[in-house]
Structure 1
Amino acid sequence: MNPFTRGTAAWHLVGLASEFPGIDDDNRIVPRCKAFNIPKTNGAIEPVEDIDLPGELKDQVLVFKYKGKYHAIDHQCPHSSFPLSRGNLFDIEDFGIVLSAGLTCPKHGWSFDIFSGRADRGNYTLKVWEVQLRDSSAPESTDQEVWVRRKQRIG
């Protein structure tokens, strides 16, 4: 075991890349995203069937593809514990130059940067997960697998 890796650093397979259609035209996340229960302890990963219902969001990750890039974030808004699958994605621009991308929580209107997790107000931070695309382990498959894990803290 690597002494520099935390015990919660496990990678989780969440599906094939082709199972995540891109969110480009209609910036509404649902139904183009998937949510998964990923317990912090070594538990089994489970897909969430109805991601639009508020419920136990604590250990859920929301996975989606926006403008060609795969993202994974906590499903729960850090400010109001609302499901972010109901939110809207948008480009963060300055004088017409796209700097990043954000997600607006529909409950209270706060926005979060989906790369850094920073909120547009307050001291709340959305947890951003790491995403990797790997070659499929299935023979004769050209599709890639999407893997996620909790972002590791430094220090």
Structure 2
Amino acid sequence: MNFFSFGRPSQPGAAWHPVGLASALPDLSLDNEDCQVTQACKAFTIPKTAGPQDAPVEADINQPGEDLKDQVLVFKYKGKVHAIDHQCPHQSFPLSKGSLFDIEDFGITLSAGITCPKHAWSFDIFSGQADRGNYKLKIWEVQLRDPLTSTADSTDKEVWVRRKQRIG
């Protein structure tokens, strides 16, 4: 757990939701010719009114008619698990069809981003900030936990997510 995070605090009383094992998320990297999120991510529907007893429902990211507003997109990029809103905050397009990239300055990697393929806007996947306009992508908190029913030789972790508090 990162205690020195500069991100926003969690919503008080916000529930954590289990979304599966970390091993189920293939690790994306820029070594791939096409670093699209679609084949290596999962989307889960978590209504804003859901309580801790309500389990997330896995959504079909290839189904265009799905309602994206209550979905979280979970994927692994360069060894770190990320959770973001599935819906682009600018034009509501599914970000699962987007591409990941490193945000660099003079060859030094500063962060990572995702580009919406509908209009080519990009969002930082750590802060949510857009590359233009005042739009902000919602970022979810992620925790990796030991499974309750783990075996002694298992090193796999469960992925849990929860919404971050929205300020302003």
1:29-108 to 2 correspondence within 5 Å? 29-42=37-50, 43-51=54-62, 53-108=64-119
Map of 2:25 onto structure 1: 20
Decide whether the 8 Å contact of 1:35 with 1:60 is kept in 2. yes
| Aligned-residue RMSD, C-alpha | 1.8
Over residues 34-85 of structure 1, what are the superposed CA-to-partner deviations in whole Å (9 max), with x where a residue is unaligned?
0000001124410002345253100000000000111000000000000000
Aligned residue pairs: how many? 151
Decide whether the 8 Å contact of 1:54 with 1:83 is kept in 2. no
Q: Give the Cα separation in 2 of the matches to 1:87 and 1:5.
A: 28
Map of 1:6 onto structure 2: 12
Would the alpha carbon gap of residues 82 and 146 (structure 1) be closer, same or farther in structure 2, given more than 3 Å must change? same
Decide whether the 8 Å contact of 1:34 with 1:51 is kept in 2. no
Would the alpha carbon gap of residues 73 and 51 (structure 1) be closer, same or farther in structure 2, given more than 3 Å must change? farther
4+ long deviations beyond 6 Å:
none
Q: TM-score, normalised by structure 1?
A: 0.91
Which segment drifts farther, 65-74 or 36-45? 36-45
Q: Give the Cα separation in 1 of the matches to 2:143 and 2:67.
A: 26
Q: TM-score, normalised by structure 2?
A: 0.84
What are the ranges of 5 or more consecutive residues in structure 2 without an aligned counterpart? 1-9
Q: Percent identity?
A: 69
Over residues 75-126 of structure 1, what are the superposed CA-to-partner deviations in whole Å (9 max), with x where a residue is unaligned?
0000000000000000000000000000000000000000000000000000
What are the ranges of 5 or more consecutive residues in structure 1 without an aligned counterpart? none
